[in-house]
Structure 1
Amino acid sequence: MKYGENKEVVTAICKETVEEAYLEKQGFIGDDVADLRFHGGPDRAVCVYSYEHYSFWEKEFGSSLPSAAFGENLLVENMLEQDVYIGDVFQIGEAVIQITQGRVPCHIINKRTSNEALLKRMVETGYTGYLCRVIKEGMVRNDSEIILIEPHPKQISIDFANQVFFHRPKDIEGIQKILEVAELAEEWQKPLLKRLENLTKPV
């Protein structure tokens, strides 16, 4: 992808809309991941973003955004960060997915949108999107309905987890609540366990 004054970066953020795609454990067939440190893998196979956020950002910054501006695999409605919970299981087409963590935005988003303020604002607002693992592989169409088939009993929302992860590093109770969700992605378990260890060790 080119950005700025003819600069280039290797990225898979530039997605294209398709009629259908097969979703397997590592993600959608035909979709690539350029940086495995922050994206991809079984716990982060699918990136979901809310359609409603596009109008928010376009109003805030006074400019339109490109399609799949955030590198999302699924653009959804009525599934905001405060309304979905880590561990929730959804049917979409033939596939079944489970929410595992909030999405940690990366600097490529700023380059993709030519907006150096966007990443910071995503973290501030909590409008990060979220990541999922694939429980059942299958075909997904662009008109497939997303159905909640197994709500998680702990009800730790992505919004709550984002607030603790990004803004409340010393919130012991909040960290403990998030870690109680066994379905949490390992990429969030590790740093949160480390924080908890540092916060609770004897002085």
Structure 2
Amino acid sequence: MRLLSISSGKVMPLFGSHHPDYSTVASAINKQSISNLDSPIPIEISRLGVAGDEQADLSVHGGIEKAIYVYPIEHYAFWNELLSLETKKSINLPLGALGENFTIEGLLETEIFVGDQMHIGTLQFTVVKLREPCFKFNAKMKYKGAAKAMLQSGFSGWYLRVNQTGAIAAGDDITVLPGQRLTSIADQNQALFNRGNQKDLWD
């Protein structure tokens, strides 16, 4: 298991016809890779996440409990195929395209549990919860069914709390120290899917 990319983004207008009330919203979902295997630059990680990264709505992303959003590279093939079918052109998403801060390899939602500790390089993180998609994700992906597809697939990724600050870089190894292992991220996603009442999800 390893870290493939660290990405950050600034708050800016996000345009799209993916919400009945807004044609544009403020979002920092557009992330750019600032450390990757081609250029493994050390990046500072604070209690609030990646240095220089911003969040527009702290109720859904950011802060101590959602400082880092993690997404597995293994799901990129799913999104590339889905979006290629929708747009009728070949899509090859760059790392960070799902709005994640850390793109990782070798660890999935079925294998990671709330309360587990992730060690990346010399830093330590705690798994907090899944990422819940909303209309901003639809706008980012330029596809009205993107949030629904994330929920149905279970390919949600998850948020981390930062326990130990410092610098890490793409290529650093990841190890997991299990917690109580009562609820996996996949379990959380299934519960959310079963409720089926996510605000703005189907717009």
Compared CA separation, residues 117 and 168, structure 1 to 2 (3 A): closer
Partner Cα distance (2:24, 2:62) in 1: 22
Does the CA-based 8 Å contact 1:22-1:29 persist in structure 2?
Answer: yes
1:130 aligns to what? 158
1:164 aligns to what? 191
User: Scaled by the length of structure 2, what TM-score is found?
Assistant: 0.76
Partner Cα distance (1:2, 1:105) in 2: 15
2:109 aligns to what? 81
Does the CA-based 8 Å contact 1:25-1:42 persist in structure 2?
Answer: yes
Deviation at residue 153 of structure 1 after TM alignment: 2.8
Q: After superposition, what is the alpha-carbon deviation per residue over 1:14-37, rounded to whole angstroms, capped at 9, x for unaligned? A: 111112311111111110111111
Partner Cα distance (1:47, 1:67) in 2: 13
Deviation at residue 94 of structure 1 after TM alignment: 2.5
Partner Cα distance (2:192, 2:181) in 1: 17
| SS of residue paired to 2:69 | strand
Identify the match of residue 42 of structure 2 among 20, 24, 28: 20
User: Scaled by the length of structure 1, what TM-score is found?
Assistant: 0.76
Compared CA separation, residues 166 and 12, structure 1 to 2 (3 A): same
Does the CA-based 8 Å contact 1:3-1:114 persist in structure 2?
Answer: no
Deviation at residue 2 of structure 1 after TM alignment: 4.8
Following superposition of structure 1 onto structure 2, how do residues 45-194 of structure 1 map, counting pairs within 5 Å? 45-62=67-84, 63-64=90-91, 65-148=93-176, 150-168=177-195
* Higher relative contact order (CA closer than 8 Å, sequence separation 6+): 2
Q: After superposition, what is the alpha-carbon deviation per residue over 1:178-201, rounded to whole angstroms, capped at 9, x for unaligned? A: xxxxxxxxxxxxxxxxxxxxxxxx
For structure 1, the residue ranges without an aligned partner over 5 or more in a row are 170-203
Q: Which has the higher strand share?
A: 2
Of the two, which has the highest radius of gyration? 1
Amino acid at match of 1:25: R
Structure 1's consecutive aligned runs of 4 or more residues displaced over 4 angstroms after TM superposition are none
Does the CA-based 8 Å contact 2:116-2:181 persist in structure 1?
Answer: no
Partner Cα distance (1:154, 1:22) in 2: 29
Amino acid at match of 1:153: Q
Query: What is the CA RMSD across the aligned residues, in angstroms?
Result: 1.9
Following superposition of structure 1 onto structure 2, how do residues 26-37 of structure 1 map, counting pairs within 5 Å? 26-37=48-59
Partner Cα distance (1:76, 1:11) in 2: 23
Amino acid at match of 1:60: L
Deviation at residue 8 of structure 1 after TM alignment: 4.0
1:9 aligns to what? 25
